[in-house]
Amino acid sequence: MKTTILFDLDGTITDPKIGITKSVQYALEHFGIHIKDPDELCHFIGPPLRESFMEFYGLSPGQAELATAKYRERFVVTGIYENEIYDGMADLLKNLNSSGKTLLLATSKPAVFAERVLSHFNIDKYFSFIGGSELNGERSDKLEVITYALENAAVKDTEKCVMIGDRKYDIIGARAAGVSNIGVLYGYGDQNELEEAGADYLARDVAELGRLLNG
């Protein structure tokens, strides 16, 4: 039984597909890169934003910084609310919190945005600490975020912790931190990605995730 549960945000608690992909599409337009179908940009969901602009579109560090600024022009006004909470997630968080579990958020998204998302869905009250990156990109690596969240929650026994996420970054970060993990298959990482990263368990939906956490 795990007493401390760390959650990723995008693709794990909420589905941010429309807001993120359209905001990336908007940013790329500034560089003359025209993406007609925002669905082609789903690989931006999960990893740190600056690194994704460089990896997927060959932008320089300076260009990636500008692209991130352009992304936020749209995201902070519109994109952040083009988001949906996964069915059953609010009840799961409520039940875990009521049963005495310590819930922590560990996301590569800037903490200021993560706080707004959780507040928007009225689920921020279930979390003891919301850990995310800084707006300048600091602490965007998942290991750094996990360590930061655990330190701020004064959690020392990592054997009683579990990290939940939908991408390989969540699994790799958890393993590096000495924390067990659950990969969720309803987000944006597939089974091969999560298994190759070393997922301890896989959950096909929120109901199965609940059974794993309560079993």
Domains, the chain: 4-15+83-214 (3.40.50.1000), 17-81 (1.10.150.240)
- d(CA 131, CA 26) in angstroms, rounded, equals 27
Find, among 191, 197, 194, 183, the residue nearest to 7 by Cα.
Answer: 183
Give start and end residues of each alpha helix (H) in 110-141: 111-120
Q: Catalytic site residue 8?
A: yes
CA atoms 115, 118, 123, 127: torsion sign: negative
For the residues 96-123, what does the mean pLDDT come to? 97
From the list 8, 15, 166, 170, the catalytic residue is 8
- d(CA 159, CA 178) in angstroms, rounded, equals 8
Average pLDDT of the residues of the chain: 97
CB distance 72 to 53 below 8 Å:
no
CB distance 20 to 33 below 8 Å:
no
Tell me what percent of the residues of the chain surpass a pLDDT of 70: 100
pLDDT band at 1 (very low <50, low <70, confident <90, very high): confident
Find, among 172, 97, 178, the residue nearest to 142 by Cα.
Answer: 172
Res 151: pLDDT: 97
pLDDT band at 88 (very low <50, low <70, confident <90, very high): very high
Per-residue pLDDT tens over the stretch 123-165:
999 999 999 999 998 999 999 999 999 999 999 999 999 999 9
Residue 215 has pLDDT above 90, yes or no: no
Beta strands in the chain (DSSP E): 4-7, 14-15, 84-85, 102-110, 129-133, 161-165, 180-184, 201-203
pLDDT band at 8 (very low <50, low <70, confident <90, very high): very high
pLDDT band at 114 (very low <50, low <70, confident <90, very high): very high
